[in-house]
Amino acid sequence: MNLVTTGYFISSGLFSILALLLLTHWRGRLQGGLLLLVVILTVIWSLVAGLNGFREGVYYRSAIVIEILRNITLYVFLFGLLRPLYIAKQRQNFYRMLYITVYLGSLLFLLASVYINYGINIGPYFITINYKILFAGNLGMAIIGMILVEQLFRNTRVESRWAIKFLFFGIGLIFIYDFIMYADALLFSQIDKEIWIGRGYVVAMAVPLLALAAQRNPTWSLEVFVSKQLVFHSATLVGIGLYLLLMALAGYYIKLYGGSWGAVAQIVFLSMAFVFLFVAIFSGDLRSKIKVFINKHFFNYKYDYRDEWINITRDLSRVSEESSLHITVINSITSLIESTGGMLWLHDEKKTGYQVVANTLFSEIKIIEPVDSDFADYLHKKDWIIDLREVASSPEKYQSLVIPEWLKNQQRAWLVIPLRHVDELYGFLVLAESRAFKSINWEDRDLLKTACLQATSYLAFQEASNSLAKSEKFAVFNRLSAFVVHDLKNLIAQLELITRNAEKYKSNPEFVDDAFDTVKHASEKMGRLLTQLKQGRFSDQVASVINIQDAMQEIVRSHQIYMPHPQLQCAVENVRISANYDRFLSIVGHIVKNAQEATNDDGYVKVDVSYDDNMLTIKVTDNGSGMDEQFIKDKLFTPFITTKGNAGMGVGVYECREFIEALGGHVQASSKPGHGSEFLLTIPAKRQQDELS
């Protein structure tokens, strides 16, 4: 065996192994069969081309013919992959035209090559004009092959290229090298011997690429197993070979152009190159990076990320009263790597430090890790999962990391995972040792970081929800306070009126009786309002059946102490509504009180009550100052806006509308400046006989 034959015999051997793998896993599908046929023809071609090195010219003709047959079969395989892509893009006519043109040209060239090769007796390296036809034809076949690979790449969806990209590399490598060799041969009328020798090695390099492409495409019915160790060592050897080749070329040019120091410079350069090579070979970091690169880009993933994503989402969604989200997060993450427990640290409300919010295994810790500590700063800047075992064995991998004392005291602590949210360190998770995992690789780290990113978003959402709920409680309390204060203001006004008139009418028994009734009513009302304020809601507003006639008389009677006195026209009997009695009196009374305050003492305030078609209508009219249309439209029913200046709070009319609409009714207002106002309250109601019937 010599240099000419070695590369081709290596290629033949590797393709033979690939052919056996494909044959044992072939399930009879067309694409898998075509790929198998391409590999078998490449085995035969490599073997025949290698034998040509022993007897030059004897086997060369056969190698040319077998090469053309291999290329034609490869075209069929590529067209089989292109066909569904062209159909999906409705380019059947272009596909059909390309298919026919390529195969007619290829078959004609095959016939011509058979005639030329077996009709002329000539050596492999020096040719006649007939062999220029062969070189031109093979150059054309290489160009066609590159075009088909380019079309396959262009028409494959981006998300699908992962499965087929190594097919592009493998077949593209073969056709590109053929293009270079036959272009050179056509230019110089002979095949360059060095290029011919190197061709066997280059074709051999396509074997692992084709194997990986077959492994990633189960639709070809080819479940090829490629050892990670084999790919790792093969990639290492190929890398070393390329490195040595480049160094040899560099050394050659140094010697050629180095003058009298050329030989010495070459020796020094090659010595330095070999030292660097050995340092790189024995570098643990470099080997780890190569393994991670190969695992990421050459093999199927360890995890089914779709299933893992579904599982983590489902687990995080199963939060119950018995199991808080904090505990759920720990259990979800620990289950990914069979960890025996965890400890969740999150920032406090003021974001001054991190504290333990959940703990499923470790001893109790009550300290706070400051947000500006070296440990927290490392987690924030590096965003790297800390393997505490690796820290102990290889501390150089974690430069500037300072392990806090509380973590050193946790004997079963294994991993520390930063929890990031919106580019901030939201917290971190400490995991205990695993039942099954002795160490974690890049894929375990990626899964843990992705799952923790999802979990952190849930934690941040819960925190935001809790803050919002707290804000809403304050908003409800503030709103209730405004309503209570509004009612208290009206009660205080009544008491002030009694105080002002006490000196004048204290001898009048009727005034005294009215004063005591008013004080008693105010006292009871203030007690209920304070209870509501303490409980934070209108909890005692139990709906009751209200007799409208009695209620309206009570409202008008309670407002007789103000001027002008309201005039009641109530033409309804036995009409009832279901509502809270106190709120109803307060709401309608507020509308009456507003009318009185807007009207001069010599004016009028009329309250008309009517009932028709199960609807109660309460109309309050006055001839007071009135309001303009724009105010009614934009501001009347807006809380905290009033026309009374500092004397008003601006919540009465708003509260009136909210209350009436809650009963299923509605409120209308009409007014003109200087011509008074009219409020129309419409509420669903029933007569007593209707209810009885």
Q: Can you tell me the distance from the alpha carbon of 422 to that of 380, in angstroms, rounded to the nearest whole number?
A: 12
User: For residues 176 and 146, is the Cβ–Cβ distance under 8 A?
Assistant: yes
Q: pLDDT digits over 155-169, tens only? A: 777 666 666 778 888
Backbone angles phi, psi at 685, to 5 degrees: -150, 170
Q: Torsion angle of alpha carbons 395, 396, 402, 406, nearest 10°? A: -10
**What is the mean pLDDT of the segment spanning 64-77?**
87
Q: What is the pLDDT of residue 443?
A: 78
Class of domain 3-224: mainly alpha
Which of 77-91, 181-195, 215-229, 655-669 is modeled with the greatest confidence? 655-669
Which phi-psi region, left, alpha or beta, contains residue 544 (left: φ > 0; alpha: ψ -120 to 50)? beta
CATH topology of domain 305-464: Beta-Lactamase (3.30.450)
Point out the least confidently predicted range of 183-192, 231-240, 270-279. Answer: 231-240
User: For residues 191 and 209, is the Cβ–Cβ distance under 8 A?
Assistant: no
Burial 237-251 (b: 16+ CB within 10 A, else e): eeeeeeeeeebeeeb
User: For residues 529 and 495, is the Cβ–Cβ distance under 8 A?
Assistant: no
Predicted structure pTM score: 0.40
Q: What is the pLDDT of residue 403?
A: 92
SS3 413: strand
Q: Can you tell me the distance from the alpha carbon of 148 to that of 141, in angstroms, rounded to the nearest whole number?
A: 10
In the predicted model, what is the mean pLDDT of the chain? Answer: 77
Q: pLDDT digits over 306-331, tens only? A: 667 777 777 777 765 545 888 888 88
Q: Can you tell me the distance from the alpha carbon of 636 to that of 491, in angstroms, rounded to the nearest whole number?
A: 23
593: confidence class by pLDDT, cuts 50, 70, 90 = confident
Which of 145-149, 277-281, 633-637 is modeled with the greatest confidence? 145-149
User: For residues 579 and 511, is the Cβ–Cβ distance under 8 A?
Assistant: no
Domain ranges of the chain: 3-224, 227-300, 305-464, 541-692
Q: What is the pLDDT of residue 508?
A: 79
Q: What is the pLDDT of residue 5?
A: 75
Q: pLDDT digits over 455-491, tens only? A: 888 888 888 877 776 666 656 556 566 556 656 666 6
Encoded tokens for 173: 């490598």
Homologous superfamily of domain range 541-692: Histidine kinase-like ATPase, C-terminal domain (3.30.565.10)
H helix or E strand, kind and range, residue 10: helix 3-25
Which of 129-138, 146-155, 292-301, 467-476 is modeled with the greatest confidence? 146-155
Q: What is the pLDDT of residue 243?
A: 63
**What is the mean pLDDT of the segment spanning 104-131?**
65
679 pLDDT above the threshold of 90 = yes
Percent of the chain with pLDDT over 90: 13
Encoded tokens for 355: 């504290």
Closest by CA position to 206, among listed 182, 228, 234? 234
Closest by CA position to 191, among listed 211, 209, 177? 177
Q: pLDDT digits over 510-531, tens only? A: 777 777 777 777 777 677 666 6
Q: How many CB atoms lie within 10 A of CB 193?
A: 11
Q: pLDDT digits over 333-390, tens only? A: 888 888 889 999 998 877 889 999 999 888 888 889 999 899 999 998 888 899 998 8
Point out the least confidently predicted range of 73-82, 483-492, 626-635. Answer: 483-492
**What is the mean pLDDT of the segment spanning 300-305?**
56
DSSP code of residue 574: S
417 pLDDT above the threshold of 90 = yes
19 pLDDT above the threshold of 60 = yes
**What is the mean pLDDT of the segment spanning 667-690?**
87
User: For residues 556 and 593, is the Cβ–Cβ distance under 8 A?
Assistant: no
291 pLDDT above the threshold of 60 = no
Point out the least confidently predicted range of 397-411, 480-494, 631-645. Answer: 480-494
208 pLDDT above the threshold of 70 = yes
